[in-house]
């Protein structure tokens, strides 16, 4: 029914970061609107807040702390947007994809491991106690979410008998994977929120350590990190669609538009959850992640594998 995925010319790759940034801006706008509502201001003024924030950070001088490891610090700050862009290369937009890798799922996983390094560099580079603690917190969180995330990524691949993202989409012709692998979907969503240092998993940038990773970052560096967080969140939301939500499948609209609509909905859900739940402390979460979440992920793979072998 759906046509095979075609790999478009690399020239189109310039559109990838552009689209990503538009999504990131929309996400930030939604976030601003939600914040505005919570303090009783008009939604519209809140939705414009990201633009004001960008202007503010562009005007702000970038400052450097004493004996900062400036090179590593800047790599960490600038790297997030790059990693997010690399992540979305393997996501098919309807019939088109920029890189039809036969290990697309693993590619995504590789990129999210890169985030470990980037956040750690941001924490390390500042030569400041609070930022360093932010880095520690992110790593301890990462140790908890990464393995469950890997198994959550593998589950759809097992069902599709392929690591190619296009094949995973094709395998959902009859039934979206979210229906029969809900545990993997939930773990995936939680992990996306965690690797974006977002919402309940935002302890690395928590207000209790004065912004943690962000404590000493100002000006354009801060802009890059904040944009990067929205970008990796968007990339995660976009990857949930081919993996669990049937890719571009849907009535009336063309495939590529469904991709965009579904991505927007998942992203909106991620943004909406941000302030609504208390923080999940990394030290507490480790226990739950290893004793409950990881076995649940393994069980999900097992169930899926048995079903696939049986059919």
Partner 1 sequence: MGVTSLLARWASTCVHVLIVEVPGWDESRMLLEAELDRRGWRIALSPADADLLAVCGMPGVELRTASDLLWNQLPGPRTRVSVTTPVTLSALLDAAVAHLGDDSRQRNDAWVRSHPVADKDPTADAGEHESMVHDGMSTEDADHGGMEHGDMDHGGMDMPMPGGIPLAGGGDDRDGLEMDVLHVPLGPVLPHWPPGLVVDCVLQGDVIVSAEARVLEASSPEEVPTTAVTDAADKRRRIVRLCDDAAKLLALAGWQTAAQTARRLRDDELLGVDITDHVAALDRLRRRVERSMLLRWSLKGIYLGEIGVGARADTGTAPPENLASVDIRHHLIGWLREAAFLAGTSSGVQPPETSGADPAREAQDALAALPELLRGADLGTARLLIAGLGLDTAALAQTHEGTHD
232/14 Cα distance (integer angstroms): 17
Element (H, E) at 65: none
110/90 Cα distance (integer angstroms): 12
The least distance separating partner 1 from the CB of residue 195, rounded to whole angstroms, comes to 17
Q: Looking at 7, 62, 103, 290, which residue binds partner 1 (CB under 8 A)? A: 62
The region of 38-46, 72-80, 89-97, 108-116 touching partner 1 under the rule CB under 8 A is: 38-46
The 133-162 site mask, x for binding partner 1 (CB under 8 A), equals x--xx-------------------------
25/271 Cα distance (integer angstroms): 12
Q: Does 44 bind partner 1 (CB under 8 A)?
A: no
Q: What is the DSSP string of 266-284?
A: HHHHHHHHTTTS----HHH
* Residue count of the chain: 311
The least distance separating partner 1 from the CB of residue 61, rounded to whole angstroms, comes to 5
Distance of CA 247 to the CA centre of its chain: 17
Q: Does 208 bind partner 1 (CB under 8 A)?
A: yes
> Quick one: how many helices (H) and strands (E) in the chain?
13, 2
Judged by beta carbon, residue 78 or residue 250, the one nearer partner 1 is: 78
Q: Does 283 bind partner 1 (CB under 8 A)?
A: yes
The 160-199 site mask, x for binding partner 1 (CB under 8 A), equals ----------------------------------------
Fill in the DSSP letter of residue 95.
T
Q: Does 273 bind partner 1 (CB under 8 A)?
A: no
The least distance separating partner 1 from the CB of residue 309, rounded to whole angstroms, comes to 37
For residue 113, the tally of other CB atoms under 10 A from its CB is: 14
CA distances from 67 to 48, 82, 221, 249 (A): 37, 26, 17, 53
Give 93's strand partners.
96
Enumerate residues 214-243 that contact partner 1 by CB under 8 A. Answer: 214-219, 222
Judged by beta carbon, residue 8 or residue 64, the one nearer partner 1 is: 64
The region of 16-24, 61-69, 156-164, 240-248 touching partner 1 under the rule CB under 8 A is: 61-69
List residues binding partner 1 (CB under 8 A). Answer: 36, 38-41, 45-46, 48-49, 51-53, 55-56, 58-67, 126-130, 132-133, 136-137, 200, 202-203, 206-211, 214-219, 222, 274-281, 283-284
């Amino acid at each position: 029914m759906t046509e095979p995925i075609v790999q478009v010319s690399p020239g189109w790759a310039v559109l990838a970061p552009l689209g990503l940034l538009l999504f990131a801006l929309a996400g930030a706008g939604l976030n601003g609107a939600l914040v505005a509502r919570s303090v009783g201001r008009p939604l519209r003024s809140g939705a414009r807040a990201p633009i004001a924030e960008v202007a503010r950070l562009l005007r702000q001088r970038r400052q450097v702390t004493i004996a900062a490891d400036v090179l590593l610090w800047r790599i960490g700050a600038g790297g997030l947007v790059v990693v997010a862009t690399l992540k979305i290369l393997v996501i098919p937009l309807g019939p088109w994809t920029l890189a039809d890798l036969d290990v697309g799922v693993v590619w995504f996983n590789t990129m999210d491991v890169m985030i470990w390094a980037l956040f750690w560099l941001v924490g390390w580079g500042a030569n400041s106690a609070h930022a360093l603690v932010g880095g520690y917190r992110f790593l301890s969180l990462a140790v908890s979410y990464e393995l469950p995330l890997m198994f959550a990524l593998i589950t759809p691949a097992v069902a599709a008998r392929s690591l190619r993202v296009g094949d995973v989409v094709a395998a959902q012709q009859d039934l979206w994977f979210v229906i029969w692998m809900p545990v993997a979907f939930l773990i995936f969503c939680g992990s996306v929120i965690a690797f974006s240092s977002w919402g309940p998993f935002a302890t690395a940038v928590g207000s209790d350590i004065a912004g943690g990773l962000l404590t000493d970052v100002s000006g354009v560096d801060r802009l890059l990190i904040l944009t990067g967080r929205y970008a990796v969140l968007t990339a995660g939301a976009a990857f949930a669609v081919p993996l669990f939500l049937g890719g571009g499948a849907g009535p009336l609209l063309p495939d590529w538009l469904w991709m965009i609509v579904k991505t927007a909905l998942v992203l909106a859900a991620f943004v909406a959850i941000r302030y609504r739940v208390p923080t999940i402390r990394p030290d507490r979460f480790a226990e739950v992640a290893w004793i409950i979440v990881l076995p649940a992920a393994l069980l999900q793979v097992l169930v899926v594998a048995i079903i696939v072998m049986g059919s």
